[in-house]
């Protein structure tokens, strides 16, 4: 059973702080990892993807991947109230297979 | 909004009704997906189509019937639904299955009475 686990939250952080969102997955051989953001009442939108161990930075967002620990995280620096949303972790476990999504973590950035 | 459109955006139906959800993508993608999103549950993949051919059916009840007439259009035909089928139904597309960038449509919010 391919599984992606996330803490549902809510995770509350003050404006300007670093928000850290975590995700674990069940298959060590997994290939690709994605973070989607979903605002309330809207559909998910892709914000980051990462394939290799280590960090990948894009603006205020950093994705971190540790395949040995089967762990992927998303850091949001200088959090803004507009970052308040549900963040979905998704994993492509192998080859040309559909993404498997976690339940999502709800982030609330308090002004 | 993305290059994936869905209609209707909201739908209320009785358990004896028959209705259809429509999805259209203008991105030239080859793979299309139907997902169900219920409160406090992960996104549930329902169906996958690749080049118009169904490649995955995740044990979805037969009251949901997909149709993919071409790579740009995807339908979900609904009949004799149950109240627990009330959810947000999302269509998505990608260049290929599991592609790097999977774009979602805005979704259809379905309420079954």
pLDDT tens-digit profile, chain A (111 residues): 789 999 988 999 999 999 999 999 998 888 899 999 999 989 999 999 999 999 999 999 999 999 999 999 999 999 999 999 999 999 988 877 888 999 999 999 999
In angstroms and rounded to an integer, the radius of gyration of the C-alpha atoms of chain A is 13
User: Of all residues in chain A, what percent are helix, strand and coil, respectively (each to 5)?
Assistant: 5, 55, 45
**CB neighbours (10 Å) of residue A105?**
22
- Grouping H, G, I as helix, E, B as strand and the rest as coil, residue B2 is coil
pLDDT in tens, B47-96: 999 888 888 888 899 999 999 999 999 999 999 999 999 999 999 999 98
Cβ-defined contact of A95 to B96 (cutoff 8 Å)? no
- Count of pairs with CB atoms under 8 A, one residue in A, one in B: 46
B53/B67 Cα distance (integer angstroms): 9
Distance CA B7, CA A23 (A): 33
Q: Does A7 touch chain B (CB under 8 A)?
A: no
B110/B105 Cα distance (integer angstroms) = 15
Which residues from chain A sit within 8 angstroms of residue B43, using beta carbons? 44, 88, 101
């Amino acid at each position: 059973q391919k599984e992606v686990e996330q803490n549902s939250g809510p995770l509350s952080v003050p404006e300007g702080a670093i928000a850290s969102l975590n995700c674990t997955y069940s298959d060590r051989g997994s290939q690709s990892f994605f973070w989607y953001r979903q605002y309330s009442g809207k559909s998910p939108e892709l914000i980051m993807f990462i394939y290799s161990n280590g960090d990948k930075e894009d603006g205020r967002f950093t994705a971190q991947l540790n395949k040995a620990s089967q762990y992927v995280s998303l850091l949001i620096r200088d959090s803004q109230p507009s970052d308040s949303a549900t963040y979905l972790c998704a994993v492509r476990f192998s080859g040309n297979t559909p993404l498997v999504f976690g339940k999502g973590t709800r982030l609330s950035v308090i002004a | 909004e993305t290059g994936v459109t869905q209609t209707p955006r909201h739908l209320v139906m009785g358990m004896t009704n028959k209705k259809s959800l429509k999805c259209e993508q203008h991105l030239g993608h080859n793979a299309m997906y139907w997902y169900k999103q219920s409160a406090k549950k992960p996104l549930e993949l329902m169906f996958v189509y690749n080049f118009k051919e169904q490649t995955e059916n995740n044990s979805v009840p037969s009251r949901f019937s997909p149709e993919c007439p071409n790579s740009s259009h995807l339908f979900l035909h609904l009949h004799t639904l149950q109240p627990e089928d009330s959810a947000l139904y999302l269509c998505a597309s990608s260049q290929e299955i599991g592609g790097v960038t999977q774009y979602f449509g805005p979704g259809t919010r379905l309420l079954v009475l």
